Chain A
């Protein structure tokens, strides 16, 4: 098996532009939408809904298939339609087998599987054949596609950079 890569998301860098969402739907459905994309950005737009004196936050978070090692979707599927791709490690829906029973949706702890009204079957993130479009279009770098065993690195790297910055600022302030 080749090196399996996974999506890694860092909410601190997400600018909430949803390009991941539109790129996903455009690539996979041939039409752009927010509601039929396989990746979803959860939005909490505090500034839009609070009073000036309220303290609240602006938060974006990503929901998509985590390509679990112990996938409930695969185990629960009665028609054996969920299969793991040997090259990418992605869990794929075999549309010749899927009966649209949505048991995989029951199993998925993240709500990452969608029911497609047109197909009358489920769809999910299949990593775009190894070149996930969401990552390709993420200008902020919040979404990355990294080897599974190195999924912790992007956050570590950023934290390290931040700490170096803070240290140098502290020493600047001390010297001034």
Chain B
């Protein structure tokens, strides 16, 4: 097979046991792993396929058998918009099933410029080491003097040690103290900036004694039609920027702009951000990954208060949502300090905050006592206490630090006493809602069906959320249109076939509160969104420019196929690309079934409150019909009642051979 344009052309396998590095041309690798790039692209597609081929039975995630797979895609490092992304996968330490996370900044593109589409790390080093990929040369370096250092210092020390010729030439993906101490939700971090969150891969790196991977790439990526790529990319970006008011609002006011409008995180039905003025970010500017027209990082400086002088690149929604609701931190300087601290320690903000929040609930109910908490009086809103606990968890200090380092699923099993029934997780992984039944239906459904356990980023359909905030003011204030008007316009622009739109939104295609309150069309919309996410995670490009974000007017399959064809010379279509997304999602489901036996029985919230009538929100006074919606969802996916892909479905997706020996 010839290697299509857009691919760097090589796969690097790093064996930590004997400190060997093997470089294999990617076409040979594809043959070995039975990968047709046109069917799997890259990123999550190939990670899923590699995990499928390498792991047919469950393993202990911290054993040397586990692998760390960094996979770029044909989109990465080209002049296509938002091309700075890659996926990082492993067997997830929290769930024992499929694990992966998207990350960006400049490590992924630098890896590709060094000549590699995929890096697989196997085995375990005897002592702490880091690996330096210097174009075709791969060097193993001692890391015992860096072991124990937090994220930023690790990056600085490695860059200095490798004597980069100009600042930012060498890119570093590292694990921090939480990863070293095997905190099960510790992600690695690329250049102290972008983390493949939710994957727990930082802890897998820690278990392998791998402190970091550094890369310098000076090569280039060949393209099928360079100038055509530029024209298509330019048009795509222009359309996106013109139609998406959030880009401008983010630049001017920060991430909370969309929290006030698109996302309501109701505990009591109140607005997430009660005071818009205070919620405005005093950020200096926005900063983005490679080729990003919609930069999501905010460069922040705390001017007064306890953390005066602190600077940070961040201000992300997950941090803010969980800060505000699960931790109860209200003060802006404390938000930013907390975010920076978690990045330095290497803790996943979603899992940490849910672990904290669950511990507070347990403490208040008397399930956890002062003896269990090492004397800490757990309550929300005390930033100092929260940060102290974060440190304890990262270093696995004391009883509570050690308990919460394993996450709520394991912790609740350990302590029992009814704590399991209030543990916010699905399949062993925390989701970020305190109460799923007052969330929007699709958003919570995503947590049930996500291949990496309780999670929202493999679905991320925000359309119901936009209508839940009763007092939203951003649209009228900044755009001069009501929320309904804005979303009606977005529906016209959404890159979805008319027929499908009619099935989801009805013949009239009206988006209003009745549609939001109804369950009709939600399962279908969820399936479409999940397939889209699996698609752009295989290309690999960013969620923030995609049609799952904000008003869903971002890049959809039409744009993806136009640009991908210019990169590779293929003639892919909308349907073909959506099929790829569906294929990847189905194999992830099948992988988890083969490895863990997960089926419909695991598509449940551990938190029993999810199955009680809601007090507020769109299901006020009712029990959310989770099982009915799931049944509809399985049927739309072509899965059996057990929630598993049928042989017919696998045949349709050109992977019927993978069902051999499986009882489906």
B131 within 8 A of A: no
A57 CB-CB contact with B under 8 Å: yes
CB 8 Å contact bits of A29-47 with B (1 = contact, 0 = none)? 1111111100000111111
Q: Which of A15, A46, A47, A51 contacts B153 (CB 8 A)?
A: A51
Asked if B193 is an interface residue, CB under 8 A from chain A, the answer is: yes
User: Quick check: B156 and A43 within 8 Å, CB to CB?
Assistant: no
Across the interface, do B299 and A32 meet the contact criterion of CB distance under 8 Å?
no
Name B94-115 residues within 8 Å CB distance of A: 106, 109-110, 113
A1-27 at interface with B (beta carbon < 8 Å)? 12-13, 15-19, 22-23, 25-27
Which residue of A16, A45, A50 has the most chain B CB atoms within 10 A of its CB atom? Answer: A16
CB neighbours (8 Å) of B237 from chain A are 137, 139
Contact stretch, chosen from B43-51, B64-72, B76-84, B323-331: B76-84
A56 to chain B: closest residue by CB: B311
- How far is A46 from B81 in the complex, measured between Cα atoms in Å? 25
Q: Decide: A30 near B292, CB < 8 A? Known: A22-B79, A42-B167, A51-B152.
A: no
Least Cβ–Cβ distance between A21 and chain B, in angstroms: 9
Q: Choose from B226, B311, B313 the contact partner of A30 (Cβ within 8 Å).
A: B226
Among the interface residues B152, B217, B221, B344, which one has the most CB atoms of the partner chain A within 10 A? B152
Q: Does B340 contact A (CB under 8 A)?
A: yes
Indicate whether B478 reaches chain A with its CB closer than 8 angstroms.
no
Closest A residue to B251 by CB, please name it.
A140
Provide the residues of chain B in CB contact with A30, threshold 8 Å.
222-223, 226
Contact assessment for A16 and B287 in the assembled complex, using a CB-CB cutoff below 8 Å: yes
- Interface pair A25/B220, CB less than 8 Å apart: yes
A67 within 8 A of B: no
Question: Is residue A55 contacting chain B, with contact meaning CB distance below 8 A?
Answer: yes
B249 to chain A, nearest CB (A): 15
Q: A32-B79, A33-B113, A139-B293 are in contact. Are A26 and B310 (CB under 8 A)?
A: no
A19 touches B293 (CB 8 A): yes
Once A16-B287, A17-B295, A49-B156 are accepted as A-B contacts, the answer to whether A26 and B223 lie under 8 Å apart by CB is yes
Query: Which residues in chain A, 42-66, are within 8 Å of chain B measured between CB atoms?
Result: 42-53, 55-58
**Distance in Å from the Cβ of A130 to the closest Cβ of chain B?**
15
A122 to chain B, nearest CB (A): 17
B579 to chain A, nearest CB (A): 27
Q: In the assembled complex, which residues on chain A have CB atoms less than 8 Å from the CB atom of B241?
A: 139
The answer to whether B230 and A133 have CB atoms under 8 Å apart is yes
| Closest chain A CB from B517 CB (angstroms) | 38
**Residues of A contacting B109 with CB < 8 Å?**
34
CB-defined contacts of B198 to chain A, threshold 8 Å? none
In contact, B155 and A31 (Cβ under 8 angstroms):
no
Say yes or no: is B341 at the interface (Cβ < 8 Å to chain A): yes
Select one of A12, A18, A140 contacting B291, CB under 8 A: A18
A158 contacts B by Cβ under 8 Å: no
B290 proximity list for chain A (CB < 8 A): 17-19, 22
B220 touches A31 (CB 8 A): yes
Q: Which residues of B contact A133 (CB under 8 A)?
A: 230
A23 to B293, CA, bound (A): 13
Given contacts A45-B167, A136-B234, contact A17 B313 (CB under 8 A): no
Asked, given contacts A43-B167, A48-B192, A58-B313, whether A27 binds B226 with beta carbons under 8 Å apart, the answer is: yes
A45 close to B288 (CB less than 8 A) = no
What CA separation (Å) do A32 and B344 show in the bound complex? Answer: 32
Q: Is the CB of A19 within 8 A of B285?
A: no
Q: How long is the Cα–Cα vector from A27 to B78 in the complex, in angstroms?
A: 12
Instruction: Mark out the residues of chain B between 562 and 576 whose CB falls within 8 Å of any chain A CB in the assembled complex.
Output: none
Q: Is B192 in contact with A47, judged by CB distance below 8 angstroms?
A: yes
- The answer to whether B159 touches A47 (Cβ under 8 A) is no
Q: Is the CB of B291 within 8 A of A36?
A: no
Q: Which residue of A lies closest to B299 (CB)?
A: A58
- CB contacts (< 8 Å) of A19 on chain B: these are 79, 81, 290-293
Cβ contacts under 8 Å, B166 to chain A: 42
B191: chain A residues at CB < 8 Å are 45, 48
In the complex, B229 has a CB within 8 A of chain A: yes
State whether B344 touches A52 (Cβ < 8 A).
Answer: yes
User: B482 at interface (Cβ–Cβ under 8 A)?
Assistant: no
Chain A interface bracket (under 10, 10 to 19, 20 to 34, 35 or more) = 35 or more
Among B113, B193, B290, the one with the most A-chain Cβ atoms within 10 Å of its Cβ is: B290
Known contacts A26-B229, A31-B226, A139-B237; is A48 also within 8 Å of B193 by CB?
yes
Docked complex Cα distance between A58 and B285 (Å): 10
Residue of B nearest to A25 (CB): B220
Contacts of A33 in B (CB 8 A): 113, 218-221
Nearest CB in chain B: distance from A15 CB, A: 4
Of the candidates A26, A29, A44, A49, the one whose C-beta lies within 8 Å of that of B155 is A49
Known contacts A16-B287, A22-B290; A49 and B192 CB within 8 A of each other: yes
Closest A residue to B189 using CB positions: A48
Q: Chain B residues near A50 (CB, 8 Å)? A: 152, 156
CB distance from B173 to the nearest CB of A (A): 12
Residues of chain B lying within 8 A (CB to CB) of residue A46: 311
Also in contact, A17 and B289, with CB within 8 A (given A46-B311, A55-B311): yes
Q: Does A27 lie within 8 Å of B311, measured CB to CB?
A: no
Q: Which residues of A contact B155 (CB under 8 A)?
A: 48-49
Instruction: Give the distance in Å from the alpha carbon of A15 to the alpha carbon of B297 in the complex.
Output: 9
When the two chains form their complex, are residues A34 and B311 in contact, meaning their CB atoms are under 8 A apart?
Answer: no
Min CB–CB distance B573 → chain A (angstroms): 24
**How far apart are A18's CB and chain B's nearest CB, in angstroms?**
6
Inside 8 A of B153's CB, which chain A residues have their CB?
Answer: 51
Task: Give Cα distance in the complex from A42 to B291, angstroms.
Answer: 16
Determine the chain B residues whose CB is within 8 A of the CB of A57 once the complex forms: 311
Interchain nearest-CB distance for A22 vs B (Å): 4
Contact A48 B152 (CB under 8 A): yes
Closest Cβ of chain B to A170, distance in Å, is 16
Q: How far is the CA of A31 from the CA of B8 in the complex (A)?
A: 11
- Rounded to whole Å, the gap between the CB of A112 and the closest CB of chain B is 14
* Complex-state Cα separation, A107 to B442, whole angstroms: 62
Question: In the complex, what residues of A have CB within 8 A of residue B221's CB?
Answer: 31-33
Max chain A CB contacts within 10 Å: which of B106, B285, B289?
A: B285
> Quick check: is B168 within 8 A (CB to CB) of the other chain?
yes
What is the 8 Å Cβ interface bit string for chain A, positions 97-134, against chain B (1 contact, 0 not)?
Answer: 00000000000000000000000000000000000010
- Evaluate contact between B159 and A49: CB separation under 8 angstroms: yes
With contact pairs A35-B113, A47-B192, A47-B193 given, residues A13 and B227 touching in the complex (Cβ less than 8 Å): no
Is B286 in contact with chain A by the CB < 8 A criterion?
Answer: yes
Contact with A along B112-124 (1 / 0, CB 8 A): 0100000000000
Q: A15-B285, A50-B152, A55-B311 are in contact. List 12 more A-B contacts (CB 8 A).
A: A17-B292, A17-B293, A19-B290, A26-B78, A26-B79, A26-B223, A31-B226, A32-B220, A33-B219, A44-B167, A52-B341, A137-B79
Nearest 4 Cβ contacts at the A-B interface = A33-B220, A48-B192, A139-B293, A49-B156
**Which A residues lie at the B interface, using CB under 8 A?**
12-13, 15-19, 22-23, 25-27, 29-36, 42-53, 55-58, 133, 136-137, 139-140
A-B pairs with beta carbons under 8 Å apart, 29 shown = A15-B292, A17-B287, A17-B289, A22-B83, A25-B220, A26-B78, A26-B79, A27-B230, A29-B226, A32-B78, A34-B110, A35-B218, A43-B167, A45-B193, A47-B192, A47-B299, A47-B311, A48-B156, A48-B191, A48-B192, A49-B152, A50-B156, A53-B310, A56-B311, A58-B313, A137-B291, A139-B241, A139-B292, A140-B295
